[in-house]
Amino acid sequence: MITFYGWGPMFDCPSPSPFVMKSDIQLQMLGVSFTRAMADLESVPKHKAPYIIDDGHLVEDSNFIRRHLETKLGRGLYDGMSGKEIAASWALERMAEGQLAKIMAYERWMKDENFNKGPAQFFLDVPEPARAGVRQEVRNGLAAMHTGEGTGRFTDEERMQLADWDIGAIAMHLGDQDYMFGDEPSCADAAVAAVLIACATEYFDTPLSGLVRKHDNLVAYIDRMTARYFANIDWPASYIMATEPA
């Protein structure tokens, strides 16, 4: 029995986390049976989602979830791909997650208007007298992290230029194909589509949405992936109560 832990629809996305979306897609690609449950970050060592519990065994991080399941099943999402395709697939994943997702997170967490509209909702369970202080403490930690790894050292214009280059490269690679490597979705599609969905949402005030949406093939790609993997997904009903705006 596999239980997949993350978060459901929020910010006009199937999940507020592209990494949760990525793993959800990959579990579906692998054809495993699983149930979805709300993540409790305090209950796991890495304090992050997604994670799974597979017959009592905890596996954290989207990449290690995939490896665990591929090892268990004896088949993987790279099956049938050439060495060059595998290398290109991994490069696309790392570009989307290694830079573009960080810029997306910066736009949501470091811009006051976006934070107050979006991520601030994650703290609703904190008692009201302490809530503002906890929110600020977390944002300060994230600001330090973004400065340390470099994203926070760029100007807004520089961040958007980097994002534009990444998004443009993805659009060029996709071309007129339905998916990143042809007529059927493969490993990279899970990560790339998830990050693009997170960037393209118009829930937040950010140029990222326009940078994605100026590419017609990416808009069609997002719609295609969303319809295929998120048309009928189920999350616990209690999630609705947990995410109502303050």
Using an 8 Å Cβ cutoff, are 189 and 179 in contact? Answer: yes
pLDDT in tens, the chain (246 residues): 999 999 999 999 999 999 999 999 999 999 999 999 999 999 999 999 999 999 999 999 999 999 999 999 999 999 999 999 999 999 999 999 999 999 999 999 999 999 999 999 999 989 999 999 999 999 999 999 999 999 999 999 999 999 999 999 999 999 999 999 999 999 999 999 999 999 999 999 999 999 999 999 999 999 999 999 999 888 886 444 344 332
The long-range contacts involving 61-68, CB below 8 angstroms and separated by at least 24 positions, are 62/19, 62/22, 62/23, 62/26, 62/191, 65/23, 65/26, 65/27, 66/23, 66/26, 66/30, 66/187
Residues contacting 205, CB < 8 A, separation 6+ = 111, 113, 114
Rounded-to-integer distance, Cα 201 and Cα 59, Å:
29
Give the model's pLDDT for residue 55.
95
Q: Which domains does the chain have, with CATH numbers?
A: 2-242 (1.20.1050.130)
Strands 34-38 and 2-6: parallel
End-to-end Cα distance, the chain: 35
Helix (H, G, I), strand (E, B) or coil at 154: coil
Q: Which two tokens stand for residue 135?
A: 């929110």
Give the model's pLDDT for residue 234.
86
- Strand intervals (E) in the chain: 2-6, 34-38, 51-54, 57-60
Give the model's pLDDT for residue 237.
63
Give the model's pLDDT for residue 244.
37
Question: pLDDT by residue (tens digit) across 122-162?
Answer: 999 899 999 999 999 999 999 999 999 999 999 999 999 99
Cβ atoms within 10 Å, residue 62: 29
Rg (CA), the chain: 18
Q: Which two tokens stand for residue 55?
A: 């017959």
Q: Which two tokens stand for residue 202?
A: 């118009």
Helices (H) and strands (E) in the chain, counts: 11, 4
Per-residue CA distances from 236 to 36, 39, 163 (Å): 7, 11, 34
Give the model's pLDDT for residue 232.
87
